[in-house]
Amino acid sequence: MSHTLFVLHELAELGISITTSIRIQAILDDIAGLMPAYGAVIAIGLLIAFSVLKLISKKLAKQPDPSWMWWGLAGGFTLCSALLLMQPLLDITLIAGARSDFGFAMQCLSGVCGGIVYGILRPTISQAGEHE
Amino acid sequence: MRHVTFKQAVFPQSLFVLLLLLLVQPLRADQPEFKVDEVANELSHPWSLAELPDGQLLVTERSGELKRISKGQVQTIEDVPEVYFAGQGGLLDIKLHPQFAQNGWIYLSYAHGTLSDNALSLMRAKLNNNALTEQQILFTAAPSKDTPVHYAGRIAFMPDNTLLLAIGDGFDYREHAQKKDSLLGKIIRLNDDGSIPSDNPYLSDTEARGELYSIGHRNPQGLVYDKQRNIVLSNEHGPAGGDEINIIQPGKNYGWPVITYGRDYSGASITPFTEYPGMEQPLVNWTPSIAPSSMVVYYGDMFPEFHGDLLNTTLKNRELRWVHMENNKPGKETSLLKHLKERLRHIEVAKDGSLYLLTDSGKVLRVHR
């Protein structure tokens, strides 16, 4: 959503008229369009980041359940790393919504939010799993 | 045991062969008979080519050298300007002035600068013995950019001796294609000395750059003046899909990135629009992309079947895409030279009507009867 809104904002700055319904449709379109590639990169990144967080927390901090803010940090770190690692491939910004510093920050913030949500819901998920 | 008569055994196969021949014959009739000779090889990223009046070839190598090819011998021209060779940048197009025989001017486009600060430039020089002399830098695109891609760089001379130069959008700067105070994503028109013609279409717009000829381009790779139809044609790379051929008219907006039939490489949409008021629809839309890399309108003598048609080299499809024209309208398309399996970078019509092709693998090919 962050990506779509930044791209549409750039078009609106050119004087292009974009209605709310077009914006909603564009967000849905981008979710579907970005899912296979960018979604896969983020999913793999989060898997690595969350696994490393769990490992560090368990082995070094002797704390099997890190607090929600650590999960948020891991989520933000994942998005930041993914965007920075993609940049040198062609020296271009493959995710257009992250071309500006603000857009880049918003992508990272999305990762933070995703991580926090996962961190808060995770005990519930684990407990639910234990009853199965 | 079941007995099968001769008629029963042979007839189905015969029918099948006959049908196959009927299907194949029209395809073969579309394919002109070609001979392909290798003129030179092992060039470094050859990008464009010009034929001198004596039949020698000048070939730009994107890595920054200019080569003269004569009877299979390759010679390096000296004193070529330093270029920024990275990504898609480097020494790009070469064109001879329409009055080259009288004035000797050779025009070169090239990327220069650094990763953090680079731009497309245009210069002219004369070839004396084996070096470029009397060099004049005529133009540099602004603003500079920090991406090594989407330079465009094609040059086309008009009948009034003005020239058109295509400038790419720089990829990360795609919205600049709609900004009239930026030269990125534009086709510009200059006099042959680099000055701005007094009849350029945006001169009365105080917020626009005077060089502008048309706006809303992504990364034009083919740019030709069609002398018989008196029109300018261009092809350009879309993103994933949305490759285009356009008839370029002064003052028109070709829409990028507000309208396109392509999507971003990431899978995201570029824009919600494929049409918008005041923006031109493409003459030809190639979705999915074929990655057109140059174009000629053929009026040579050797291949009368191409007369007035558009021949487009392609990178992704590794073919010569023949667009049959019916007056100013594109008709059917035919794939040629697919068997070469080469990324074709450039096409030029030789004086005898044969075709010169450059390949990304470093070859100069001559296609003839």
Q: What is the pLDDT of residue B27?
A: 45
Average of pLDDT values for A32-51? Answer: 95
CA dist., res. B153 & res. B164, Å (int): 10
Kindly list the residues from chain B whose CB atom is less than 8 angstroms away from the CB atom of residue A96: 174, 264, 266, 268, 270
- Whether residues B266 and A34 touch (CB distance < 8 A) is answered with yes
Q: Which of A11, A35, A37 sits opposite B271 (nearest CB)?
A: A11
- The answer to whether the peptide bond before residue B282 is cis (omega within 30 degrees of 0) is no
List alpha helices for chain B, DSSP H: 6-30, 100-103
Whether the pLDDT of residue A118 is over 70: the answer is yes
B11 touches chain A (CB under 8 A): no
Cα gap B331→B255, rounded to integer Å: 23
Active site residue ranges of B: 150
How far is the C-alpha of B51 from the C-alpha of B311, rounded, in Å? 18
Amino acid present at B219 = N
Q: Please indicate whether, in this complex, the C-beta atoms of A96 and B149 are within 8 angstroms of each other.
A: no
Topology adopted by domain B41-149: Neuraminidase (2.120.10)
Model ipTM value: 0.87
Per-residue buried b or exposed e for A4-43, using 16+ beta carbons within 10 Å of the residue's own CB: bbbbbebbeeeebeeeeeebeebbebbeebbeebbeebbe
**Cβ–Cβ under 8 Å, residues B310 and B297:** yes
Answer positive or negative: Cα dihedral of A84, A90, A92, A96. negative
Using the Cβ of A36 and the Cβ atoms of chain B, whether some distance falls under 8 Å is answered with: yes
Taking the Cβ of residue B267 and every Cβ of chain A, the question of whether any pair is shorter than 8 Å is answered with: yes
* Chain B 241-260, residues with CB within 8 Å of chain A CB atoms: 257-258
Per-residue model confidence (pLDDT) at position A63: 76
Which residues of chain B from 133 to 162 reach within 8 Å of chain A, CB to CB? 147-149
> Contacts of residue B87 in chain A, CB cutoff 8 Å?
90-91
Q: Does B180 contact A at CB distance below 8 Å?
A: no
Instruction: Please judge whether B149 and A7 are an interchain contact, meaning their C-beta atoms are less than 8 angstroms apart.
Output: no
Of B149, B266, B272, the CB nearest to A22: B272
List of chain A residues whose C-beta atoms are within 8 Å of the C-beta of residue B149:
90-92
pTM for the model stands at 0.90
| pLDDT score of A131 | 44
Average pLDDT over residues A20-37: 95
**Would you call B302 exposed, middle or buried from its count of C-beta atoms within 10 A (0-12, 13-18, 19+)?**
middle
Are B211 and B166 spatial neighbours (Cβ–Cβ below 8 Å)? no
Q: Is B263 on the interface with A (CB under 8 A)?
A: yes
Who among B258, B268, B271 is closest to A3 (CB)?
A: B268
Contacts of A34 in chain B (CB under 8 A): 266-268
3-state class (DSSP) for residue B47: strand
Per-residue pLDDT of chain B (369 residues; tens, 9 = 90+): 455 554 555 455 555 555 555 444 444 457 888 999 999 999 999 999 999 999 999 999 999 999 999 998 999 999 999 999 999 999 999 999 999 999 999 999 999 999 999 999 999 999 999 999 999 999 999 999 999 999 999 999 999 999 999 999 999 999 999 999 999 999 999 999 999 999 999 999 999 999 999 999 999 999 999 999 999 999 999 999 999 999 999 999 999 999 999 999 999 999 999 999 999 999 999 999 999 999 999 999 999 999 999 999 999 999 999 999 998 899 999 999 999 999 999 999 999 999 999 999 999 999 999
pLDDT for res B149: 98
Instruction: Select the residue of B172, B258, B263 nearest A93 (Cβ to Cβ).
Output: B172
CA distance B76 to chain A (A): 30
- Tens digit of each residue's pLDDT (9 = 90 or more) over A54-83: 999 888 877 778 889 999 999 999 999 999
Q: Is residue A129 predicted with pLDDT exceeding 50?
A: no
Distances (CA, A) of B47 to B57, B125, B131, B352: 13, 18, 20, 22
Rounded mean pLDDT of A24-46? 95
